[in-house]
Chain A
Amino acid sequence: MTEIDRPTAGAPSRTAPLLAVDDVSVAFGGVRAVDHLSFDVAPGSIVGLIGPNGAGKSTALKVIGGEVKPTSGRVRFDGADLVGAAPYEAARRGLVRTFQLGGEFARLTVMENLLVAVPGQKGETLLGALAGRRWWRASQDAEVRKARDILGGLQLRDKEDAYAGDLSGGQRKLVEIARALMARPKMLLLDEPMAGVNRSLARRIEETLARLRSDGIALLLVEHELGSVERLCERVVVMANGSKIAEGDMTEVRSRDDVLSAYLGRRK
């Protein structure tokens, strides 16, 4: 580890981290997918998690999101330990993830995709549903209006009645981001939001993510498109073979030989 690796999990700000990944390891049989990974994310910041294919980024994201239990280590979010908690707890605490592929509810409309994400809706319990439309209609209308605002910001307003499964790959990624916003997140975990997306949609996603940061939402971005990472992230964590090999800003990180060697396949 060198100076920019920040051995104390690399917290750049003085405020308490929103997300703290502390010495997390994940082993599948004899394979260590994640090996003693530590880093943290401050409130309202954008951190990139990059590395070559098979580096363990997506597994790390699944651990943070509660989908995979780590073999050892801790994940704390907003003061609460997420390891051992039910997988849905992370989202309820404000940590919402998107998926690399197929994260949409295909046979639900775009609007329904967004409304599903609203936490604690009226009419979402059995009694609330049985109480009838009058009980939950007003609150749903308010959420529909909010969803239309979000869709308008992403230029998807005309797609609200389309089935999410009928959209293009890029539009689905936008729907996922829009849906995550309906969940009122403190932080988003984004798994390759730009992958397989045409340039104009990728630009739109990038602008959206930049806007989220200014709205105070922290982002952890797993992405192969390094140009976007450089433009968006003030700090990146580089993984290779399950371990963190570097951490710092993009300019620092990309000049390092070990990063170039691992990430770009260059030899020292």
Chain B
Amino acid sequence: MSYYFTVMAMYILIGIIAAWGLNLQFGETGVLNFAYVLFVAAGAYTTAVLTLGHPSASGTQQYFWGAHLPFPIPWIVSMAVGAVLGVAVGLVSLRRLRGDYQAMVMLVVSLIATYLVSANVGFLNGETGLALIPQPFGNLHLSELNYRWFFVAVTAVVTLLVFEVMRRITGSPLGRVLRAVRENEAAAVALGTNVVKMRLLTMAVGGAVAALSGAIEVQFIGAWAPAGWTYPETFGLFAAVLVGGRGNLGGVALGAFLVQGLFLEGTVLLPSIGNPDLVGAVQWITMGVMIMLFMWFRPRGVLPERRRRFTTEARTRLPLLLVRAQRDARG
């Protein structure tokens, strides 16, 4: 059972990290990135080839290049790859197109990427995918269960770091400009905002965060294949953002917990009746119904984006009051 809890904890944490990246793009900036899972995959594959070693040393697996780099280099390089890919996909889809067409282009990019990787066996081992991916911290000599909990702890620390980065971005003047772009592109431009640059920025940062989630996941589960990053996976993350509350980091984390923990993993616990594919079907049906219900009845999610108030006067007054109180005390 403990083993199962480590898996659950990892999927929830990885889901939270990925959902925060999507929240920056969709929740804060309004970019409908239907190719989001592509960036998760980019991070996973990058970490895989950077830890597997040279292809000749990897038995029957075929991939274009490989190295054996220590932690945390593969994760960092994965984030860089995610960021660069984000800018590249953004340049293709975000310029000259309106929001709905941007989303269509991104969905098409995601489909093309899946088919390309699946069809080209020499690139990343085709549909079979990559397996036997080494795990980090191998020299700790922990029991398997302790090792898994240690991995959970490391991922929790990374989750906190990502939270802090997201908190700083969304709570800053930059975050305010991103929300302005989301709310009214024409008005943002009329105030001098380079909207394309802002969207590319969120594609880069969100892409890096997505890639980080993929990098962590691939080293935890040790394998990665195209079946794990088909386009519906993107909608699982959209469900997390919509259910939790777009634009609210706590809400999005709650959404990821609900989607990953309850709706995806919860359905696995259903009694096996009928067709063996039933569980998978129930997962996606649940997700689809959940997205529809929330968009109809609670479009801002369980925890809506909070209203930001500015309290400069109170904060600047307080030290003055303290100074006066000290002065009075001295007589």
Q: Which residues of A contact B (CB under 8 A)?
A: 65-67, 86-92, 96-99, 102-109, 111-113, 115-119, 121-126, 128-130, 132-133, 136, 140-141, 144-145, 160-161, 163, 179-180, 183
Contacts and interface: CB of A to CB of B under 8 A. Distances in A.
Contacts of B188: 105, 116
Interface in B139-191: 165, 168-169, 171-177, 179-180, 183-184, 186-191
Interface stretch (B126-134, B281-289, B304-312): B304-312
A207 B188 CA distance: 26
Interface residues of B, number: 33
A130 B312 contact: no
28 contacts: A66-B189, A67-B189, A88-B193, A88-B194, A92-B192, A97-B190, A99-B190, A103-B187, A104-B187, A105-B179, A105-B187, A105-B188, A106-B184, A112-B179, A112-B180, A116-B177, A117-B191, A118-B173, A124-B177, A128-B173, A129-B168, A129-B169, A130-B165, A136-B172, A144-B310, A161-B309, A163-B307, A183-B191
Nearest to A112: B176
Contacts of B194: 86, 88
A101 to B, nearest CB: 11
Contacts of B173: 115, 118, 121-124, 128-129, 136, 140
Contacts of A106: 183-184
Contact of A102 (B165, B169, B172, B184): B184
A133 B315 CA distance: 14
Nearest to A162: B307
Contacts of A88: 189, 191-195
A115 B169 CA distance: 16
A179 B194 CA distance: 17
Nearest to B194: A88
A225 B190 CA distance: 24
A160 B309 CA distance: 8
B205 interface: yes
